[in-house]
Amino acid sequence: QVQLVESGGGLVQPGGSLRLACAASGSIFRPNRMGWYRQAPGKERELVTDITSGDNTNYADSVKGRFTISRDNAKNTVYLQMNSLKPEDTAVYYCNLFQFGQAYFGQGTQVTVSS
Protein backbone atom coordinates (compact mmCIF):
# COMPACT_ATOMS: atom_id res chain seq x y z
CA GLN A 1 0.00 0.00 0.00
CA VAL A 2 1.14 3.52 -0.84
CA GLN A 3 0.15 6.79 0.81
CA LEU A 4 0.81 10.21 -0.66
CA VAL A 5 0.37 13.35 1.43
CA GLU A 6 0.54 16.76 -0.21
CA SER A 7 1.18 20.09 1.48
CA GLY A 8 1.84 23.69 0.53
CA GLY A 9 -1.23 24.80 -1.39
CA GLY A 10 -3.01 28.09 -0.79
CA LEU A 11 -4.00 31.46 -2.17
CA VAL A 12 -1.44 33.57 -3.99
CA GLN A 13 -1.57 36.68 -6.15
CA PRO A 14 -0.73 36.55 -9.85
CA GLY A 15 3.02 36.60 -10.31
CA GLY A 16 3.58 35.02 -6.92
CA SER A 17 5.17 31.73 -5.93
CA LEU A 18 4.20 28.59 -4.05
CA ARG A 19 6.04 25.41 -3.19
CA LEU A 20 4.20 22.11 -2.95
CA ALA A 21 5.56 19.00 -1.28
CA CYS A 22 4.42 15.39 -1.39
CA ALA A 23 5.66 12.70 0.97
CA ALA A 24 5.23 9.09 -0.09
CA SER A 25 5.12 6.24 2.40
CA GLY A 26 4.41 2.54 2.36
CA SER A 27 5.68 0.11 -0.27
CA ILE A 28 7.90 2.39 -2.33
CA PHE A 29 10.25 0.82 -4.86
CA ARG A 30 12.67 2.13 -7.43
CA PRO A 31 12.68 2.77 -10.29
CA ASN A 32 9.55 4.88 -10.10
CA ARG A 33 8.17 8.14 -11.36
CA MET A 34 6.66 10.84 -9.19
CA GLY A 35 4.86 13.90 -10.37
CA TRP A 36 2.03 16.36 -10.19
CA TYR A 37 -1.31 16.48 -11.94
CA ARG A 38 -3.89 19.22 -11.66
CA GLN A 39 -7.61 19.55 -12.23
CA ALA A 40 -9.37 22.85 -12.69
CA PRO A 41 -13.15 23.19 -12.31
CA GLY A 42 -14.93 21.77 -15.33
CA LYS A 43 -11.72 20.41 -16.85
CA GLU A 44 -10.05 17.03 -17.02
CA ARG A 45 -7.09 16.15 -14.84
CA GLU A 46 -3.84 16.91 -16.65
CA LEU A 47 -0.19 16.11 -16.12
CA VAL A 48 1.81 19.12 -14.98
CA THR A 49 5.23 17.57 -14.51
CA ASP A 50 6.95 14.38 -13.44
CA ILE A 51 10.40 13.15 -12.51
CA THR A 52 11.94 9.69 -12.55
CA SER A 53 14.02 8.25 -9.76
CA GLY A 54 16.97 8.98 -12.07
CA ASP A 55 15.97 12.69 -12.15
CA ASN A 56 14.69 12.80 -15.73
CA THR A 57 11.98 15.45 -15.88
CA ASN A 58 9.01 16.20 -18.08
CA TYR A 59 6.89 19.39 -18.12
CA ALA A 60 3.64 20.47 -19.70
CA ASP A 61 4.21 23.29 -22.17
CA SER A 62 2.00 25.59 -20.11
CA VAL A 63 4.37 25.49 -17.12
CA LYS A 64 7.81 25.24 -18.75
CA GLY A 65 10.14 27.92 -17.45
CA ARG A 66 7.89 28.68 -14.47
CA PHE A 67 7.60 25.41 -12.54
CA THR A 68 10.42 23.19 -11.29
CA ILE A 69 10.06 19.66 -9.99
CA SER A 70 12.62 18.01 -7.73
CA ARG A 71 12.79 15.00 -5.48
CA ASP A 72 14.59 13.65 -2.45
CA ASN A 73 14.85 9.88 -2.87
CA ALA A 74 16.04 9.36 0.70
CA LYS A 75 12.80 10.94 1.95
CA ASN A 76 10.54 9.66 -0.85
CA THR A 77 9.44 13.25 -1.29
CA VAL A 78 8.75 15.27 -4.40
CA TYR A 79 8.57 19.05 -4.58
CA LEU A 80 7.00 21.48 -7.01
CA GLN A 81 8.31 25.04 -7.05
CA MET A 82 5.80 27.23 -8.86
CA ASN A 83 6.86 30.74 -9.89
CA SER A 84 5.17 33.45 -11.94
CA LEU A 85 1.81 31.97 -11.14
CA LYS A 86 -1.16 32.84 -13.34
CA PRO A 87 -4.91 32.68 -12.67
CA GLU A 88 -5.10 29.77 -15.11
CA ASP A 89 -2.87 27.76 -12.77
CA THR A 90 -5.75 27.65 -10.30
CA ALA A 91 -6.63 24.01 -9.69
CA VAL A 92 -6.44 21.13 -7.27
CA TYR A 93 -2.94 19.70 -7.51
CA TYR A 94 -2.51 15.97 -7.03
CA CYS A 95 0.69 14.17 -6.25
CA ASN A 96 1.29 11.01 -8.26
CA LEU A 97 3.51 7.96 -7.90
CA PHE A 98 3.88 5.44 -10.71
CA GLN A 99 5.64 2.12 -10.09
CA PHE A 100 5.35 -1.39 -11.51
CA GLY A 101 2.50 -0.35 -13.77
CA GLN A 102 0.38 1.11 -10.98
CA ALA A 103 -0.52 4.72 -10.40
CA TYR A 104 -1.27 6.23 -7.01
CA PHE A 105 -2.66 9.69 -6.25
CA GLY A 106 -2.81 11.84 -3.16
CA GLN A 107 -5.90 13.62 -1.88
CA GLY A 108 -4.96 16.87 -3.57
CA THR A 109 -4.16 20.40 -2.45
CA GLN A 110 -5.92 23.53 -3.66
CA VAL A 111 -3.90 26.24 -5.41
CA THR A 112 -5.74 29.47 -6.10
CA VAL A 113 -4.15 32.32 -8.02
CA SER A 114 -6.19 35.48 -7.66
CA SER A 115 -5.87 39.15 -6.82
Look at residue 51 in the predicted model and tell me its pLDDT: 97
Confidence at residue 97, expressed as pLDDT on a 0 to 100 scale: 97
Cβ 18 vs Cβ 111: under 8 Å: yes
pLDDT for the residue 114: 97
pLDDT at 30: 86
Count of residues making up the chain: 115
Q: How far apart are CA 59 and CA 85, in angstroms?
A: 15
Question: Is-contact 6 109, C-beta < 8 A?
Answer: yes
Please list the pLDDT of the chain residue by residue as tens digits (115 residues).
899 999 999 999 999 999 999 999 999 998 899 999 999 999 999 999 999 999 999 999 999 999 999 999 999 999 999 999 999 999 999 999 999 999 999 999 999 999 9
Q: How far is CA 64 from the centre of its chain?
A: 14
